[in-house]
Structure 1
Amino acid sequence: MQRLALPLCFFLILFSLPVIAQTNNSNPETSILTSTESSVNHKTLLAAMRATELDKLLSFDGQYTVFAPSDKAFQELSHAEISELLKPENRKKLHELVAYHIVAGKLSASKILRAMCRGNGKATFTTVQGEKITATMDGIDIVLTDPLGNRAKIIMADADQCNGVIHEIDSVILPRKI
């Protein structure tokens, strides 16, 4: 079984990276926050970052990986859930949700794939919120799974910024039930 894992990992890295890298919106001159501010697909994420003051963290130096749910991904949550989370009295819950999409350090798609190869197809990363998120493969897609079993696929990878990298995901992942 171990002999099969190494060629399979090599295959995944070799053939997944060109597909993933084709769609990045890199701008190494700007911060993660500046890139999010200029994005037309991340208005909800930006509002959540500002409401929780995580925008300050993502505008400074340091290396972070942001798994950024698009506005379409946030629409999977009900309008009532989003409205509830954006209320000032729920700032702590919203902070947990946004922080769960951020990992300290710069994790490119190739680093995530290499970690999965070392972990026999699975890699676990600790978010700045403190909970773990698991990365696996589904075909040629990198999929993130939260403790509740919710899954998000990376649909746009490796948008390099001066203070890290952004990977757009197709769903919101949760540290626990909201």
Structure 2
Amino acid sequence: MPNFKSFKALALAGVVAISGGALIGTAPVAAHNHKSHGEMAQPNIVQAAVGTGVHTTLVAAVKAAGLADTLSGPGPFTIFAPTDTAFAKLPEGTVATLVKPENKGTLTGILTYHAVAGNVSAADLIGLIQAGGGSATLSTLSGGELTARLSGDTVVITDAAGRATAVTQADVKVSNGVIHVTDGVFLPA
């Protein structure tokens, strides 16, 4: 699967699924996860993130925050998933500090700041941006807000501190929602 750079192009092309239970061209989830007739079931959010090879830091943070069961549950959730490269852009030592048990509350707040209740596809988000006159406000599970805008054909999400992050791959369908891959980490403020 190519690495799509454009949220709008994906929505207009109708690209909304990853075949074989894979995300970003990686191996499918474990063989025990079958649908009837031998088809692979779609992975959930956590299974998909584990399978990418580029979300190792995110998966470790989700486990450290105790959110793996929640994000494996029925949802639906819309997740803006930073890659390992996105986490590496944070100041040195940030991730190591956040995954310490004493920082679980802060880590949970940051991770739930990347999650929106429901299934918000690329087409839905673009519609909200257009209906909002060029921007859309998203309420996150942490209680914070993100602002989405289009920059050309790319959706850019701005966090509470004004940091802008691009969506680099949209509409990765999972059994309990949708994942949009980002090139940055949102911080509540």
Hey, what's the Cα distance between the residues in 2 that align with 1:133 and 1:91? Answer: 22
Runs ≥4 residues deviating over 6 A: none
Aligned AA (2:76): Q
| TM-score computed with the length of structure 1 as normaliser | 0.85
Aligned to 2:3: none
| TM-score computed with the length of structure 2 as normaliser | 0.81
Aligned to 2:168: 155
Aligned residue among 11, 22, 31 for 1:17: 11
Q: Point out the more displaced range, 60-69 or 78-87.
A: 78-87
Q: Which runs of 5+ in 2 are unaligned?
A: 1-5, 22-40
Q: Secondary structure at the match of 2:133?
A: coil
Structure with the bigger percentage of helix: 1
The structural deviation recorded for 1:154 is: 0.4
The structural deviation recorded for 1:129 is: 0.5
- Is structure 2 residue 160 aligned with structure 1 residue 166? no
Tell me how large the CA RMSD over aligned residues is.
Answer: 2.1
Aligned residues: 164
Q: 1:55 to 1:15 in 2, by over 3 A?
A: closer
Aligned residue among 123, 131, 153 for 1:118: 131
Aligned to 2:71: 58
Aligned AA (1:119): G
Contact 1:133 1:146 in 2 (8 A): yes
The structural deviation recorded for 1:79 is: 2.8
The structural deviation recorded for 1:133 is: 0.5
Aligned AA (2:11): L
Q: Secondary structure at the match of 2:126?
A: helix
Q: Secondary structure at the match of 2:72?
A: coil
Contact 1:13 1:114 in 2 (8 A): no
Q: 1:137 to 1:118 in 2, by over 3 A?
A: same
The structural deviation recorded for 1:78 is: 2.2
Q: Secondary structure at the match of 1:58?
A: helix
Aligned to 1:101: 114
Q: Secondary structure at the match of 1:84?
A: helix
